[in-house]
Amino acid sequence: MMKGISKMKLTAIALVFAMLPLWETANAQSEISYPSAIRDDLENARKECADADDGKVTFEPGLVRKLDLTGNKRADYIVNFENLRCSTFESVYCGTGGCTLNIYVTTRDGALRRVFSGQVRTYGISKAAGAKTMTFDLHGGFCGKAGAYACQKKKLITEQPFEFKEP
């Protein structure tokens, strides 16, 4: 036996390596259940990372949130690129303005529509019944300030696309 490594530790290490294919399969299965627009976001992230010196992307918990934002009792989605990692380019999805955040809503007719895509430092969601108001912490430039200064914007989430513009 190798010095300093017990048989139990070797067994645990072997078990972890044996479970890796199952972990990848579970992640792939959860991706398959996402609507095509979400899968497209994830595939584009893979390509962008691969273009950065052949990097590999890692999806972390919280990457995709499924919830009702519009109050129409249909699944809406938030794709938070803060929860993506690229092995060769750490800041490919995030910068001083925050990380890419995509918001998709399911319309009354059942179509999935992206209503927002932009850089966000953090966000919060109201707990009120019905349509949710989201609070976005943005780069200071969206409030006519320098980047380091706080800038907060609120938006009631509906089926209508929106964006934040610098003054």
Percent of the chain with pLDDT over 90: 68
Domain containing residue 149: 7-156
In a domain, 163, yes or no: no
In a domain, 51, yes or no: yes
Query: With a threshold of 0.85, does the pTM exceed it?
Result: no
Q: How many other CB atoms are found less than 10 A from the CB of residue 115?
A: 20
Q: How many other CB atoms are found less than 10 A from the CB of residue 55?
A: 18
Render pLDDT for 8-35 as a digit per residue (tens, 0 to 9). Answer: 554 444 444 444 343 333 343 355 689 9
Q: Count up the domains in the chain and report the number.
A: 1
Render pLDDT for 5-14 as a digit per residue (tens, 0 to 9). Answer: 555 554 444 4
Q: From CA 69, how far away is CA 133, in angstroms rounded?
A: 8
Render pLDDT for 135-163 as a digit per residue (tens, 0 to 9). Answer: 999 999 999 998 788 899 999 999 999 99
Through-space distance between the first and last CA atoms of the chain, rounded to whole angstroms: 68
In a domain, 146, yes or no: yes
In a domain, 53, yes or no: yes
Residues present in the chain in total: 167
| Token duo for residue 42 | 């994830």
In a domain, 162, yes or no: no
Residue 4 has a pLDDT of 55
Q: Ramachandran region of residue 16, left (φ > 0), alpha (ψ -120 to 50) or beta?
A: alpha
